[in-house]
Amino acid sequence: MSLKQTFERKGKELLSQISGYGRTKQFKRLAKGTKTLKTWLGRVSRSIERQLATKPELEPLFKTKLAQAKQLQSQHKRSKDKLYSLRAPEVECIGKGKTHKAYEFGVKVSIATTIKEQFVVASLAIPGNPYDGHTLKRTLEAVTTHTGRPVHQCFTDRGYI
């Protein structure tokens, strides 16, 4: 599929520029650059949609990427279900509660090990951003199913209290 404009080169330039604006607290320039990127994204996605109307056999190839483009274009600061990564759409923003690193992006994981040997007996990827204390029951159930024995003692950090 050939496009009239892709903004590939200019998009990379602008993205590197606006990443610097966020660090130096130049928020008006950051907002203007973000708006420009969203405009370019809309132009390219509409161009692809127009070409897909004439070639419907290519539509399954572009379906997920066009949906992601629409989601990126419509999301704003207060949106609930934001898309943080195109390569890994399941990634979420997890608040760390620390001043030097306030946020982390990924999926929460719960790992259970034995007390003496530190052998991993269960690990769970937990979607959403649940409170740590609410994940403990599920993790202990996973240990019981994997080992076939009930858990007698459990040691956790203070995040589970």
Condensed to tens digits (0 to 9), the pLDDT of residues 101-112 reads 888 899 989 999
| Mean pLDDT score, 4-15 | 93
Q: Which residue has the higher pLDDT, 85 or 128?
A: 85
Q: Are 30 and 20 in contact (CB under 8 A)?
A: no
Per residue in 51-97, pLDDT tens? Answer: 999 999 999 999 999 999 999 999 998 998 899 999 999 899 888 88
43-71 burial: b if 16+ Cβ within 10 Å, else e: ebbeebeeebeeeeeeeeebeeebeebee
d(CA 90, CA 82): 10
| pLDDT at position 139 | 93
Structure tokens belonging to residue 60: 């399954």
| Mean pLDDT score, 1-9 | 89
124: closest CA among 103, 106, 143?
Answer: 143
Q: Which residue has the higher pLDDT, 99 or 68?
A: 68
| Mean pLDDT score, 103-123 | 90
d(CA 132, CA 66): 35
| pLDDT at position 70 | 95
Q: Are 83 and 75 in contact (CB under 8 A)?
A: yes
Please list the residues that pair with 108 across neighbouring strands: 126
Residue keyed to tokens 């320039």: 29
Structure tokens belonging to residue 34: 């973000």
| Mean pLDDT score, 117-137 | 89
Across the chain, the runs of DSSP E, i.e. the strands, are: 92-95, 103-106, 108-113, 120-126
Percent of the residues in the chain that have a pLDDT greater than 70, as a whole number: 100
Q: Is the alpha carbon torsion for 52, 56, 57, 60 positive or negative? A: positive
pTM, entire model: 0.73
Q: What is the chain's mean pLDDT, rounded?
A: 91
d(CA 105, CA 84): 8
d(CA 66, CA 42): 10
Q: Are 85 and 92 in contact (CB under 8 A)?
A: no
Per-residue pLDDT band for 143 (boundaries 50, 70, 90) equals very high
| Mean pLDDT score, 8-37 | 94
